[in-house]
Amino acid sequence: MRLESFLRMAALALALLLPAVVSGQAMHPVFSLLDEQGGNVLVTARAVSAAKTCGQCHDSDYIAAHATTGHADQMNLATHGIERLERAGRMNQGGAPSSAAAMNCFLCHLASPNNEARLAALAGGQAEWSTTATLEGSGMVLRVSDRWHYQRSAFSPQGTLLPHHAQMRDPENHHCGFCHGHVHTRHDEPVLIAAGDIGPWSTFTTGQVIAPQKISESGLNLAGKERLVRAWDVHAERLLDCVSCHFSVNNPAHQQADPARQPGHLAYSPRRLDIRQYLHQPSHILAGSATLPAGSALSVQTPMRRCEGCHDFDKAHPWLPFKARHRSSLTCETCHIPQLYAPAAATIDLAGTGTHIVYRGGTPSGDVIHELVSGYRPLILPRRETDGSLRLAPYNLITTWTHGSTETGKARPVSAEVQPWAIHHNVTHGAFVVRDCQTCHDRHSMLSATFFLSTPRSGGTIELWPESAGVLPAGELVHQAEGFYFTAKPGTAGFYILGHSSVPWVQWLGGVLLLLVLAGIALHAFLRIRAHRHAEADGEETRLLYLYEPYERYWHWLQALLIIGLILTGLTIHAPGRFAWMSFAAAVRVHNVLAALLLFNAFLSLFYHFASGKIKTYLPEPEGFFNQMFAQAGYYLSGIFKGEAHPFEKSQHKKLNPLQKITYLVILNILLPLQIITGLLIAGAQEWPAISRQLGGLGFLVPFHSLLAWLFAAFLILHIYLTTTGHTPLSSIKAMITGWEKVPVHPEEK
């Protein structure tokens, strides 16, 4: 009985409290709607002024002075779009909204503002009533013909709004979508995008759509739609709001202290603006804003929460080699926004009658319902960050054609300007991101994609954006018969990408050198065979000598195998499309392991030869060395074909002839150290970028490292061939396996 009474009391309490909770009665105080002169609109019947209305509690002057451009004066979206086209193409139509349309706080802070009514008021020349129109449908105002009337039922006898009408809230995704792009948060309706709608600006310019819905469930007519079982944006799918990253810069929850204003003895100051001060003067400069208002009092622009603010790059990419290098060279969006599926503007023609727009992504008209849409891959361009570094990031390019200025009565020349538009949303994860290293590290890299700009125009000229825009036009403008194209070339901005970038003369020089060695070996072998010197000479007296101790044999074979492995993996790294016997990532890892073993083996070998005194084996004898070297060269070039005896006796203390000594001296003291040093600098470019830059960066180190590899390959082939010039073709190789070699008895010993 007591339990039943308790449940009844709890149900009654919930019934009484629920309306208050739903209406948010305890969250926001009631207020009056005021006009531009500060009068109550119930009395004056004039248009609502958001600045005066919200200024009753908040410092509206501060908000107007501290607002990202466009946030304090939310203008007619169609006019806003036209004005952006004007700036790109100097088109004279449309117009800026009047000051009466400024600071429409209800557009972002009312639960369900009527943006369509606001736009209609602006388009109909009733800009001063646009804020009032935003309240249409809320029960506060009613539109009759072209006038708005305030509903007394929404106000208290004191002239203030009733509590459930006075509830303001933080901006949500659909608020941001009024100006910034297509936002779709409903699960019961498929995503649809109106063809040719320039209102959702970021959707129009880049194809970005903010929606948790799976692309396969949308209403777009997409190619391969059934395979796109991913959300339009993973952050929207995870129920994050725009303000999670684009927060107010003086919000106490996110505020970052200005180091210049902190006491010198404090490494961290917990002092923050209290919530009362923040509510009185909330900054409307949002983190990550590209522009600050003129005369902004903020000394430091608070950075927005970037991907690294929430995600641990190293833990999220355990498979990725050289993480620091990738983190410093790429934005996360480069790999996590591999494709856009909504149509984006490619060409805007303002030089003809009206405005003609061609869309990127498979259909020129932008009709995503009746025509098949394929989407498009963003173009990757270098972007200069706030710290001065360059990182590759995804962009769409829009070409705007306009008439230039000229004398009256003459035909006006046609010209176009190409502008980059950054892409930050439609992030994906898992199997949909770029994970195959060859997507970037290959000759046909996505980093050097060709982007269509526009069809040709008779006598028309086209111009790229200036570097001062923060995005470098690193690429080449190509004019073909079918139109204008832009081919990205990150190398012109200083990026050297393994597997993609190359220095042609290094490859040509190395290839020619290797071909000459092969040709020389082929000719020499042919002459030897013709002279019948490939077999052991009849009657030649020989003896067995123990020449190579176990460690010498171990060191030699390990060094040879390591060098061969490094050459093979190096081929995959530098030309993964042509030498794809393993994946690029695996080749990098194996190459690094082999390089570490080579360095360790070289150190042990150096210690062994110095400690045992066997280093003398590799040192040329100063007396008569050049004569001996010429005699050895004469034997290889002539004497070996005539059956002459080897000019020098091989013994345990003289295992190398003069040419071998000078070759090993160059290899072990010049080429190998240079190869090791350049390899370490390439691998350490992510840890010591300053040292790498001082030595010319990867653009110098990698080609030089490659040239040395060509020399090693040529030496290795020549060395293997010369081992066949012993007493028998395989005697020297057998000796390096067993330690014993059968050598001819020198004439002096006889």
Q: Is 615 helix (H, G, I), strand (E, B) or coil?
A: helix
Q: What share of the chain is helix, strand, coil (3-state, %, to 5)?
A: 45, 15, 45
pLDDT of residue 69: 63
- DSSP labels, 521-544: HHHHHHHHHHTT-SSPPTT--EEE
Please provide the average confidence, as pLDDT, over all residues in the chain.
82
Residue 99 pLDDT grade (very low, low, confident, very high; cuts 50, 70, 90): very low
* pLDDT computed for residue 747 by the predictor: 59
Rounded distance, CA 336 to CA 449, Å?
Answer: 17
- The confidence score (pLDDT) of residue 44 equals 93
**Least confident range of 286-290, 513-517, 667-671:** 286-290
Whether the predicted pLDDT of 199 surpasses 60: yes
Find the farthest-apart pair of alpha carbons in the chain and give their distance in angstroms, rounded.
131
Higher-pLDDT residue of 541 and 239 is 239
CA angle 248, 249, 255 (to 5 degrees): 115
Please report the pLDDT score of residue 250 as a whole number. 83
Q: With cut-offs at 50, 70 and 90, classify the pLDDT of residue 561.
A: very high
Domain ranges in the chain with CATH number 1.20.950.20 = 504-744
400 Cα distance to chain centroid: 26
Percent of the chain scored above 90 by pLDDT?
32
Task: State yes or no: pLDDT of 15 exceeds 90.
Answer: no
SS (H, E, C) 183-227: ECCCCCCCCCCCCCCCCCHHHHHHCCEECCCEHHHCCCCECCHHH
| CA distances in angstroms from 253 to 186, 261, 272, 274, 275, listed in the order given | 29, 19, 9, 10, 9
Separation between Cα atoms, residue 126 and residue 105, nearest integer Å: 18
Q: How confident is the model at residue 339 (pLDDT cuts 50, 70, 90)?
A: very high
Burial class (CB in 10 A: 0-12, 13-18, 19+), 542: middle
* Closest of 631, 620, 595, 618 to residue 712, by C-alpha: 595
Residue 176: what pLDDT?
87
> Which range, of 337-341, 530-534, 629-633, averages the lowest pLDDT?
530-534
**pLDDT tens track for 408-435:** 556 567 888 999 999 999 999 988 999 8
Give the pLDDT confidence of 505-526 residue by residue, as tens digits.
998 999 999 999 999 999 998 9
Average pLDDT over residues 646-668: 81
Q: What architecture (CATH level 2) is domain 504-744?
A: Up-down Bundle (1.20)
Mean pLDDT of 333-339: 93
Between 196 and 456, name the one with better pLDDT: 456
pLDDT-derived band at 739 (thresholds 50, 70, 90) equals: confident
Q: Where are the alpha helices (DSSP H) in 624-697?
A: 625-634, 640-642, 658-666, 672-683, 689-694
Whether 230 contacts 268, CB under 8 Å: no
Q: What is the pLDDT of residue 146?
A: 83
pLDDT at 291: 45
- pLDDT tens by residue, 265-283: 766 666 677 788 888 888 8
pTM: 0.80
The more confident residue out of 738 and 746 is 738
pLDDT of residue 96: 34
pLDDT of res. 125: 85
Whether the per-residue pLDDT at 77 is higher than 50: the answer is: no
**pLDDT confidence of residue 152:** 93
Mean pLDDT in residue range 34-47: 93
